[in-house]
Amino acid sequence: MKGETCTVEVIRRKGAVPATAERLRKTGQDVKPGHNLFILNLERPAQLRATAVGMKTVVIKKRCYITEALEDGIAYQMLGRGDVLVDIDHDPINKMATPDNTIRERLSKLSTGGKVTALVERPIDPEEAKDFERYIDSFTPKIKEQEVPYDVAKIGREASSMHFIILKKLTTPSCLSSDARRNKKATDKTSEAGESNISISTASTEMKIISDVDDIEDLKKVVTKSHAAGNSGYGGAFDDE
């Protein structure tokens, strides 16, 4: 209109579109003064090598606050500190039974090339942004930042990946007593039970060899002979005794 003033909100983020009335009605979220609501379509850029989402979130009163966006993460180019996730994939966060687990599961799709759509709330008024910053600082722990050398961080990431691959292939044995292996030590024992019988026993079988001759003196002695005839003329193994 000529001669009148108007307020124009410009969205500078790639993949961001204005929030629809239907989506706002589904979440029950009203636009607060000094804030803006928009729909953000999240996807890992093709040129980005990072696979980690790189975002820290805190869920308070059914609202997911982004407290930090790491520079080497996927979300750094699309989200920032102070953004509030109102819904994810058309599911309102204030209606989720376990919002922490659901949000983590949905955002993990970005690491594997999946797409996520989220309704985001952002303070746009300078005074509201300062108040929002102080509010986030009130529940964010104060951690003293210490820069880690690049080579140390690289070694840590490689070790973490190696441990993950190894632990993924390991099968943990059962701790139940019913599943414990009981190895029986098999030992052969040969004992003479008498002059006319021999008893051979193992851990699983027992066998007895008994002679039918009552008197030990009646047993015939074993005579060994050669297969060929000897030079002495006594005959060979096939001659009669």
- Can you give the CATH number for the domain in which 58 is found? 2.30.42.10
**Predicted structure pTM score:** 0.52
- pLDDT tens track for 155-204: 888 888 887 777 777 776 666 666 666 666 555 555 455 555 556 555 55
pLDDT of residue 85: 92
Question: Does residue 164 lie in a domain region?
Answer: no
The reply to whether 126 falls in a domain is yes
* Degrees to nearest 5, angle at CA 211 with 198 and 226: 95
Q: What is the pLDDT of residue 199?
A: 60
Q: How far apart are CA 9 and CA 157, in angstroms?
A: 41
The verdict on residue 192 lying in a domain is no
Asked if residue 4 is part of any domain, the answer here is no
Domain that holds residue 88: 16-139
Count of C-beta atoms within a 10 Å radius of residue 150: 8
What pLDDT does residue 71 have?
82
How many separate domains does the chain show?
Answer: 1
Task: Report yes or no on 83 lying in a domain.
Answer: yes
Q: Is residue 86 part of a domain?
A: yes
Q: What mean pLDDT is predicted for residues 120-136?
A: 87
Asked whether residue 106 is assigned to any structural domain, the reply reads yes
